[in-house]
Amino acid sequence: MSLIANFAIGFLAALVGVIPPGLLNMTAAKISINQGRKVALLFSAGVCTIVCLQTFIALLFARYLERHPEVVDTLQKVALGIFICLTLYFFFIARDTRREVPKEMERSKTNRFFYGILLAAINLLPLPYWVYISITFSSFGWFSFDHLPLWFAVIASGMGTFVMLFIYVLFFRKQQDKQHIRFNMNYVIGFITAIISGITFLKIFELL
């Protein structure tokens, strides 16, 4: 059962984590528009390789933290403040994402797989993200840090990331003639951070 739970959490958390427009998914979209879908998917495969590695490192660190609950309690309180601030920022302050997709992109001759590895390697946000996600779900008894379940979560994180990048690739190919997004992605991000804030609040005050 822990294998299925870890896989589901790993896949869904990765899927949600790549929803907000950022360097990796927007680059995949632009490569798709300028160089084709196959090249964009090759880039995405490179990204997912590093995501799996980052997830593995983060989960090892999270397993250490789980054995020191006093540290986890402090981190959860800090995380609650951060997610509340992020929710307010994305709902009321952040710039509207319904902007034009850049038409031009430098066409590097570098293999796109390794380009994906490079960009993903400089994006360190998955490390604290996976530490928080794993510790939170572990505190509910839904996530296991045992050897095999941990690897299921790592593999699922790569698959979830690839699926969301693929969605970006398909979406922006269809939007190529329109050249802009019809909805503000910041509201999606704000909604997600609000849910995480609520879960963290309930956990801290032992209401869940």
Q: How far apart are CA 44 and CA 29, in angstroms?
A: 10
CA dihedral sign of residues 152, 153, 156, 157 = negative
**What is the Cα 166 distance to its own chain's centre?**
14
Taking 90 as the threshold, does the pLDDT of residue 200 lie above it? no
> Which structure tokens are listed for 79?
């995380």
3-state helix vs strand vs coil in the chain, percent to 5:
75, 0, 25
Confidence of residue 202 (pLDDT cuts 50, 70, 90): confident
Q: According to the model, what pLDDT value does residue 191 have? A: 73
Q: What's the mean pLDDT in 153-182?
A: 79
At 3-24, the pLDDT tens digits run 999 999 999 999 888 877 677 8
Q: What pTM did the predictor assign?
A: 0.70
